[in-house]
């Protein structure tokens, strides 16, 4: 980084305006720390640069995903008449953290930060694992060096151990300190601290495996490594020799060992910590599935009310919701359209206090970001409440802004008999909505003139949905009340507030006057090709009368009812047509339902509130982490067949049924983050393994908890599961901080498809609640899958 003028300018510091809205613009002093990893800012007076020291707010460069230049956020667009684009930029954070919109005093200052930040981000992305570890060690050194003298005394070491989640008796800590203090000065310098860290992090668990396969206890010869890869990692026998050579070449740090065609303990650990040694099979992280099947044969990553950033009642609407969803690989986004002022349609959650954005801004955002992460088709699910006049404006925006990206006709302009494939639809945006007549009518030109302005414009009646969900909820409450007399007062305060809010929401919607059927404009109707929204009558009616391009949307409670009554019929229906399931209208807090039960029916479009972190989004991220993160996952073969039936309630009745035994030995964890802000607090971790799949596979088991050790806890606990439908199963590894007096605290998790697991000794690199990396936190496990007789 030396000699870079932009970074030097950032280290000196800059006064910039932090912008939150057109009326909220505050001066802040921003400065890059000497470590080139941390940015610090505080309130200041422009004249003196003297801060009031009440709002210091450092953040890591690693938290920043991208830098947008100019007026590329709604906030900066709102002040475009006040500040030119060459002085404006946006820092986009990972996960669900809000963006930081900034205005520099000059274009040159803005460029220094834009170019400097991009260089820092690029440098981080190009770091190897060992460099990241060195950076991590350096960060701990700086945190522990309280007096900033570049050395660390024993008192600072004791503080460091608490910070690193280690509870260690003082005698042992002092012994390690003295062993690392080679200069015998009573303090540790850089190299001595690295030695101390290595002693602290010595992996006895990995050494044990290493020595089991090492002929001389000092190294793994080529044949030793081949045996380990063959017997433990279950690598293909035909390629194991070549693989062993590649691993030595790639991960062995010692040139001497490389010359001997051997691997040291250091190289062995580096291999086990690498992507090749992780729990997720690397080949399946890339695009590996057949993408030439009909569209209805894939699970599709889908978002509900994509424009909302928070709750469903009062939260802000923003195009940022679309950007974030699309960058996560989402391939079906939703837009709720209403008549706006000046003839421009708006997007918001109707009849609520959510803010409003312009439909044309949503379309522009879609055009810009739809194919940055995945080139496979995007479905725009439209809930249309607009007048005919503003529908025509919508159609105009779709056509002029999206251009050739908008699919306006069948691919060959002939009447089709089945869906095209994701491969054939690459780079296309498909509109899902009501359509006048059928696809055949519009292609053959047989549509009657009077048909051009008739019919319903939206397939989602929110009031009816609320009423249906309310009846279902009341039914559940009546059943729960049997044998006990409880009231709303028995709920927790949070739950009571949620139910009260939902009740107000229901009352509001049900008190609205019933709207007569609106008319649909031909221009908007013509934009719908393969995704015509229709009302659902029954599976029998669909089987006899429905066209393949007709799609129905169900609220979660309606979908569960169909699953209970006719699970096998539901699966068969989804082998022919697309289905969309979305959250109940009672989920005013933007919570989510469990998507797994809908995937068990073969439902392709399971729409979730992407803005809400938790188990449900972990499962969604886990399922779509495979196949290159393209947003499409091919359904199991038995869910795509029309000549066979699969019932998720009885998976053992299908052809080729073969149950599997899944055995997990949870060995250890490394460098778990602190979850309690108290400096004296140390994590008491335990691991829970959850299986999500068909009802017969739903299960979870836990290890013991380890007292006061989040740094290197060791379990060697074994958990066993039986898997009946492995193609549908997801495995979720969760680490929590045990608390006997209150609810356990979340530490980290990792979710992946069962079919993507690599067997043997593997590391699981944990993610935060937001799904972002918490490097170097990990689990070390041994995994084995065997057939049950």
Residue 142 labeled ligand binder? no
Residues 6+ apart with CB under 8 A from 748: 672, 673, 734, 735, 766, 767, 768, 774, 777
In the set 297, 349, 385, 397, the catalytic residue is 349
Residue 738 labeled ligand binder? yes
Residue 178 CA to residue 176 CA, distance in Å, equals: 6
Strand partners, 507: none
For the chain, percent helix, then strand, then coil, each to nearest 5? 40, 25, 40
349 catalytic, yes or no? yes
Residue 336 labeled ligand binder? yes
Contacts made by residues 394-397, CB under 8 angstroms, sequence distance 24+? 394/337, 394/345, 394/359, 394/524, 395/521, 395/523, 395/524, 395/526, 395/527, 396/523, 397/345, 397/359, 397/360, 397/363
* Residue where the block lists tokens 């260089």: 119
Residue 458 CA to residue 442 CA, distance in Å, equals: 20
The beta strand positions in 354-438, using DSSP E, are 357-358, 378-384, 429-433
Residue 434 labeled ligand binder? yes
| Longest pairwise C-alpha distance within the chain | 95
CA angle 324, 327, 333 (to 5 degrees): 65
Continuous segment of H or E residues that includes residue 141 = helix 129-144
Residue 783 CA to residue 673 CA, distance in Å, equals: 24
Residue 587 labeled ligand binder? no
Q: Are 588 and 622 in contact (CB under 8 A)?
A: no
Residue 243 CA to residue 249 CA, distance in Å, equals: 10
Q: Encode 616-644 in three state secondary structure.
A: HHHHHHHHCCCHHHCCEEECCHHHCCCCC
Other CB atoms within 10 A of residue 569 CB: 19
Residue 196 CA to residue 177 CA, distance in Å, equals: 7
**Across the chain, how many H-helices and E-strands are there?**
24, 30
Residue 139 labeled ligand binder? no
Residue 308 CA to residue 316 CA, distance in Å, equals: 6
Residue 506 CA to residue 720 CA, distance in Å, equals: 45
In the set 71, 297, 304, 765, the catalytic residue is 304
Residue 119 CA to residue 470 CA, distance in Å, equals: 53
Strand partners, 101: 19, 90
Residue 749 CA to residue 770 CA, distance in Å, equals: 10
Residues 6+ apart with CB under 8 A from 353: 313, 314
172 catalytic, yes or no? no
Residue 75 CA to residue 17 CA, distance in Å, equals: 13
Contacts made by residues 454-457, CB under 8 angstroms, sequence distance 24+? 454/519, 454/520, 455/517, 455/519, 455/520, 456/517, 456/518, 456/520, 457/384, 457/385, 457/386, 457/391, 457/433, 457/518, 457/519, 457/520
Residue 384 CA to residue 456 CA, distance in Å, equals: 9
Residue 383 labeled ligand binder? yes
Q: Both tokens of residue 496?
A: 């009571």
* Residue where the block lists tokens 């060195």: 134
Residue 739 labeled ligand binder? yes
Residues 6+ apart with CB under 8 A from 293: 421, 422, 634, 640
Extract the annotated binding site for Ca(2+).
Answer: 305, 334, 336, 383, 684, 708, 737-739
Extract the annotated binding site.
Answer: 305, 334, 336, 383, 432, 434, 553, 580, 684, 708, 737-739
Extract the annotated binding site for substrate.
Answer: 432, 434, 553, 580
Catalytic residue positions?
Answer: 304, 349
């Amino acid at each position: 980084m030396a000699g870079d003028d932009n970074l030097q300018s950032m280290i000196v510091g800059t006064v910039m305006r932090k912008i939150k809205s057109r009326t909220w613009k505050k001066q802040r002093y921003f400065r890059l720390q000497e470590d080139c990893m941390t940015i610090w800012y505080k309130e200041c007076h422009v004249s003196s640069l003297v801060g009031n020291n009440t709002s210091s707010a450092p953040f890591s460069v690693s938290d920043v995903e991208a830098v947008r230049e100019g007026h590329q956020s709604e906030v900066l667009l709102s002040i475009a008449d006040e500040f030119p684009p060459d002085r404006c930029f946006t820092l986009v954070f990972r996960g669900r953290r809000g963006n930081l919109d900034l205005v520099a005093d000059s274009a040159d200052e803005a460029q220094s930060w834009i170019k400097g930040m991009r260089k820092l981000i690029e440098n981080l992305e190009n770091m190897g694992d060992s460099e990241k570890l060195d950076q991590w060690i350096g960060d701990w050194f700086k945190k522990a060096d309280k007096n900033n003298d570049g050395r660390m005394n024993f008192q600072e070491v004791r503080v460091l151990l608490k910070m690193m989640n280690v509870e260690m008796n003082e005698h042992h800590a002092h012994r390690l300190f003295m062993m690392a203090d080679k200069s015998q000065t009573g303090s540790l310098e850089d190299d001595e601290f690295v030695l101390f860290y290595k002693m602290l992090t010595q992996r006895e668990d990995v050494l044990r495996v290493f020595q089991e396969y090492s002929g001389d206890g000092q190294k793994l010869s080529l044949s030793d490594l081949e045996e380990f890869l063959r017997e433990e990692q279950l690598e293909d026998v035909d390629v194991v020799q070549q693989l062993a050579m590649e691993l030595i070449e790639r991960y062995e740090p010692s040139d001497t060992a490389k010359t001997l065609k051997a691997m040291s303990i250091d190289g062995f650990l580096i291999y086990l910590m690498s992507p090749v040694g992780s729990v997720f099979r690397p080949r399946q992280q890339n695009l590996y599935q057949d993408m030439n099947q009909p569209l209805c044969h894939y699970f599709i990553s889908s978002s509900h009310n994509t424009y909302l950033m928070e709750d469903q009642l009062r939260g802000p609407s923003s195009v940022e919701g679309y950007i974030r969803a699309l960058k996560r690989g989402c391939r079906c986004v939703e837009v709720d359209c209403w008549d706006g002022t000046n003839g421009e349609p708006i997007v918001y959650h109707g009849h609520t206090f959510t803010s409003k954005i312009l439909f044309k801004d949503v379309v522009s955002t879609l055009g810009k970001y739809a194919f940055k992460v995945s080139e496979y088709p995007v479905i725009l699910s439209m809930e249309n409440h607009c007048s005919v006049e503003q529908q025509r404006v919508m159609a105009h925006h779709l056509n002029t802004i999206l251009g050739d990206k908008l699919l306006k006709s069948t691919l060959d302009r002939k009447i089709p008999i089945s869906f095209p494939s994701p491969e054939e639809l690459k780079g296309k945006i498909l509109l899902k909505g009501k359509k006048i007549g059928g696809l055949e009518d519009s292609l053959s030109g047989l549509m009657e003139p009077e048909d051009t302005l008739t019919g319903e414009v939206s397939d989602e009646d929110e009031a009816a949905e609320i009423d249906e969900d309310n009846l279902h909820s009341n039914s559940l409450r009546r059943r729960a009340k049997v044998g006990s007399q409880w009231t709303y007062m028995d709920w927790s305060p949070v739950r009571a507030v949620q139910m009260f809010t939902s009740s107000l929401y229901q009352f509001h919607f049900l008190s609205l006057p019933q709207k007569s059927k609106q008319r649909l404009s031909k221009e908007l109707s013509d934009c719908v090709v393969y995704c015509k929204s229709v009302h659902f009558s029954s599976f029998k009616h669909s089987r006899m009368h429905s066209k393949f391009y007709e799609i129905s949307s169900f609220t979660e409670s309606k979908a569960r009812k169909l699953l209970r009554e006719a699970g096998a019929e539901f699966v068969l229906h989804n082998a022919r047509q697309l289905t969309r399931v979305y959250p109940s209208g009672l989920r005013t807090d933007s919570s989510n339902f469990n998507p797994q039960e809908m995937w068990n029916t073969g439902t392709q479009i399971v729409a979730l509130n992407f803005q809400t972190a938790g188990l449900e989004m972990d499962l969604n991220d886990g399922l779509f982490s495979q196949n290159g993160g393209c947003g499409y996952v091919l359904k199991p073969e038995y869910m795509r067949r029309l000549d066979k039936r699969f019932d998720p309630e009885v998976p053992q009745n299908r052809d080729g049924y073969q149950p599997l035994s899944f055995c997990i030995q949870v060995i250890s964890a490394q460098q778990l983050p602190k979850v309690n802000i108290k400096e004296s607090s140390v994590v008491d971790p335990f691991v829970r393994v959850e299986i999500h799949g068909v009802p017969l596979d739903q299960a979870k088991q836990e290890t013991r908890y380890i007292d006061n050790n989040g740094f290197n806890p060791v379990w060697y606990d074994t958990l066993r599961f039986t898997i009946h439908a492995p193609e549908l199963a997801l495995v979720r590894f969760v680490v929590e901080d045990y608390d006997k007096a209150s609810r356990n605290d979340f530490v980290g998790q990792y979710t992946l498809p069962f079919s993507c697991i690599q067997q043997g000794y593997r590391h699981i690199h944990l993610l935060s609640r937001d799904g972002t990396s918490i490097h170097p936190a990990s689990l070390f496990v041994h995994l084995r899958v065997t057939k049950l007789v």
